[in-house]
Amino acid sequence: MSKGQQTRSTILSEAMRTASVEGFQGISIGMLADRLGMSKSGLFAHFGSKEELEKAVLDETAKRFMDAIWTPVRREPRGRPRVEALFRHWLDWTQQNDQLPGGCLFVALAADLDDKPGPVRDQLADLQRQWDAMLVRSARIAMEEGHFRADLDPRQFAYEMQGIVLGLNFYRRLLQDPAAIRRAEDAFAALLERSAA
Amino acid sequence: MSKGQQTRSTILSEAMRTASVEGFQGISIGMLADRLGMSKSGLFAHFGSKEELEKAVLDETAKRFMDAIWTPVRREPRGRPRVEALFRHWLDWTQQNDQLPGGCLFVALAADLDDKPGPVRDQLADLQRQWDAMLVRSARIAMEEGHFRADLDPRQFAYEMQGIVLGLNFYRRLLQDPAAIRRAEDAFAALLERSAA
């Protein structure tokens, strides 16, 4: 990475950390400059506006999310093993407190942005549609491999998998339920069982 | 209702509507006074601070939520019929666009407030724990009535039911998936089926 790329990455890491706790309302270019001991104009050289910064945060988060999840998943055999690994690494992602102290940034932003029309909302929705498509595709491959039953609806599978992870966020972060992770794992095990061929 | 109670209720309705779209960041006493054609001091007579207003909005929303859901549910026979009615009326609640144009206020606020320690976050968590306890109790009664199997974990049932509704919010509001409601209904039908005695 060049020095410019390193600086950009440092700014985005700090923005991700703060936004995971406080949402996009919680970040500003001036505040990030303060925290990082940079000049405001130095930060503006990387991101010309708050909106540009927000979009860059979403892209960077998606990139790191895919690196964290897809890289290990791809090493698993096709079909059900990949679906299981996908879930396991997704759960790990939601618990990496150093990068995202407020939990998954996408979940933190979803309910906040869903009713706010504009390019940032559209980008978040696009990224989440891509993720949904990836879950659907993984379930479909497990059907093709004969691991999941042939009459499974892979879109329904993706919906329920997403609901389990959203439930985990809710029970763990808001209700502070210590059993939340176990419940998510049990729910997913039951989903796998009733999807099996 | 006295005139004072009516005014209070009008203020809270407007605050609920706005907060369902924009979160608590989106409301202020001055802005509500503007929208309602009231004086700022008139509004302060009802709510001494922004925090007091936020707590009153949560209480009022919980009251209306229970009125909307529990009143019709209570008329159903105990056990599974009540669990089914609970889900149906909960779904209706999330779709009443006049009162809550941004969808369920609790969902809209959950990811926003979960990492913000303080009395407002605590109150939201308490209200949601009460709701979770009510779901658990309803599942337990269905077990006692012999409608649900005796080895069901009613807490797991509540977790999965909550996940289905959180998934609905996500797929409908962020992804704008027209199939979201059908998926929520199918997921719940499957949950009922595997819980049945």
- pLDDT for the residue A25: 87
Give tens-digit pLDDT for B94-106.
888 788 898 889 9
- Name B184's Cβ contacts closer than 8 Å, sequence gap at least 6: A159, B91, B164, B165, B167, B168
Q: What is the CATH number of the domain that holds A156?
A: 1.10.357.10
Q: Quick check: is A42 in a domain?
A: no
Average pLDDT over residues A112-117: 88
- Of chain A, the percentage scoring pLDDT greater than 70 comes to 100
For residue A65, pLDDT over 90 is answered with yes
Q: Quick check: is B38 in a domain?
A: no
Taking the CA of residue B176 and the nearest CA in chain A, the distance in Å comes to: 9
Give the total number of structural domains in chain B: 1
Write down the ipTM of this complex.
0.93
Q: If you ran DSSP here, which 8-state letter would residue B45 be given?
A: H
Q: If you ran DSSP here, which 8-state letter would residue B78 be given?
A: T
Q: In this predicted structure, which of A62-71, A96-105, B17-26, B173-182 has the lowest mean pLDDT?
A: A96-105
Tell me the CB-side half-sphere exposure of residue B196, using CA atoms within 13 A. 9
DSSP per-residue string spanning A55-108: HHHHHHHHHHHHHHHHHHHHTSPTTHHHHHHHHHHHHHHHT-TTT-TTS-HHHH
Mutate to test the interface with A, among B21, B95, B161, B170 (most CBs of A within 10 A): B170
Q: Quick check: is A8 in a domain?
A: no
Q: Quick check: is B31 in a domain?
A: no
Mutate to test the interface with B, among A25, A27, A115, A126 (most CBs of B within 10 A): A115
Give dist(CA B83, CA B158) in Å, integer. 10
Give dist(CA A188, CA B128) in Å, integer. 23
Q: Quick check: is B104 in a domain?
A: yes
Residue B187: which of A22, A128, A163 has the nearest Cβ?
Answer: A163
- At residue A91, what is the residue type? L
CB neighbours of residue B196 within 10 Å: 12
Report the sign of the C-alpha dihedral through residues A6, A104, B169, A116, in that order: negative
B64, B99 contact by CB (below 8 A): yes
Average pLDDT over residues B53-70: 94
Q: Quick check: is A45 in a domain?
A: no
Whether residues B160 and A164 touch (CB distance < 8 A) is answered with yes
Q: Quick check: is B78 in a domain?
A: yes
Q: How many residues would you count in chain A?
A: 197
Give tens-digit pLDDT for A38-60.
999 989 899 989 999 999 999 99
Residue B110: which of A22, A111, A129 has the nearest Cβ?
Answer: A111
A114, A50 contact by CB (below 8 A): no
* Shortest CA distance from A154: residue in chain B: B183
Q: Name the CA radius of gyration of chain B, rounded.
A: 18
Question: Which residues form the domain of A140?
Answer: 50-195
Q: What is the pTM of this model?
A: 0.94
Q: Is B1 helix (H, G, I), strand (E, B) or coil?
A: coil
For residue A97, pLDDT over 80 is answered with no
Residue holding tokens 């998998």?
Answer: A161
Whether residues A163 and B163 touch (CB distance < 8 A) is answered with yes
A171 contacts in chain B (CB < 8 Å)? 132, 159, 162
Q: Quick check: is A132 in a domain?
A: yes
Nearest-5° angle of CA A25, CA A30, CA A35?
95
Give dist(CA B102, CA B98) in Å, integer. 10
- Of chain B, the percentage scoring pLDDT greater than 70 comes to 100
CB contacts < 8 A, A to B, total: 140
